Amino acid sequence: MNDTRDNILAPEEPVPPSELVEGDVTGLRLLRRARKLLRCLRGCADHPNRKLHFDDYVLGLLLYFFNPVLTSLRGLQRATEFSMVRKALGLKRMSLGSMSESVRLFDPELVGDVFREMSKDAPAYRVDPRLNDLGQAVTAVDGTVLPALPRMTWAVWLGDRKRGAKAHVHFDVRRSAPTEAQVTDANASEIASLREHLEPGRLYVMDRGYRSLELLQDIVDADSSAVIRWRANARYEVIEERELTDMDRAANVVSDRVVRLGGKRIRHKLRVPVRLVEIFVPARKHRGLGRPRKRVSADKRKRRMPGEPYTLYLVTDRLDLPAEIVGLIYQSRWMIELYFRTLKSVFNLRHLLSDSIEGVTIQFYASLIATMLLSEYTGVKANKRAYELVALYLQGWVTDEEFADHVARIRRAASKKS
**Greater pLDDT, 301 or 58:** 58
How confident is the model at residue 196, as a pLDDT?
94
Residues 6+ apart with CB under 8 A from 222: 198, 199, 200
Taking Cα atoms as reference points, which of 305, 327, 298 lies closest to residue 205?
327
Q: Does 24 have pLDDT greater than 50?
A: no
Q: How far apart are CA 303 and CA 296, in angstroms?
A: 6
- Does residue 42 surpass a pLDDT of 50? yes
47-74: average pLDDT? 85
- What is the DSSP code string of 300-320? GGG-B-TT--EEEEEEES-TT
Q: What is the pLDDT of residue 290?
A: 55
What share of the chain has pLDDT > 90, as a percent?
A: 50
158 or 135: which leads in pLDDT? 135
The whole-chain average pLDDT of the chain stands at: 85
β-partners of residue 255 are 278
Q: Mean pLDDT check: name the lowest of 12-21, 70-79, 293-302, 335-344.
A: 12-21
pLDDT of residue 203 exceeding 80:
yes
pTM: 0.86
137-141, 152-156, 217-221, 331-335: the lowest-pLDDT one: 152-156
At 105, the pLDDT band (50, 70, 90 cuts) reads confident
Instruction: Give the residue ranges of DSSP H helices in 93-176.
Output: 96-102, 108-120
pLDDT at 7 over 80: no
Output 7 or 259, whichever has higher pLDDT. 259
> Rounded to whole angstroms, how far apart are CA atoms 111 and 165?
18
Judged against a pLDDT cut of 60, whether residue 14 lies above it is answered with: no
Three-state secondary-structure class, residue 217: helix
Predicted confidence at residue 52, as pLDDT, reads 83
Average pLDDT of the residues in 226-237: 93
- The pLDDT value recorded for residue 409 is 87
Kindly tell me if the per-residue pLDDT of 44 is higher than 80. Answer: no
Say yes or no to pLDDT of 292 above 60. no
Q: Which of these, 36, 18, 37, lies nearest to 76 by C-alpha position?
A: 18
Q: In the predicted model, is pLDDT for residue 79 greater than 70?
A: yes
Mean predicted confidence (pLDDT) in 21-30? 49
Q: Which of 2-11, 119-128, 359-368 has the lowest mean pLDDT?
A: 2-11
Domain layout of the chain by residue ranges: 15-109+363-417, 208-285+301-319
pLDDT at 46 over 80: no
Q: What average pLDDT does range 295-312 have in this prediction?
A: 65
For residues 114 and 295, the model is more confident at 114
Residue 159 confidence (pLDDT): 72
300 pLDDT more than 70: no
**Residues 171-187, mean pLDDT to the nearest whole number:** 94
Q: What is the mean pLDDT of residues 322-346?
A: 95
Q: 376-407 burial by CB neighbour count: b if 16+ within 10 A, else e?
A: ebbebbbbeebbebbbbbbbeebeeeebeebb
Average pLDDT score over residue span 153-172 = 87
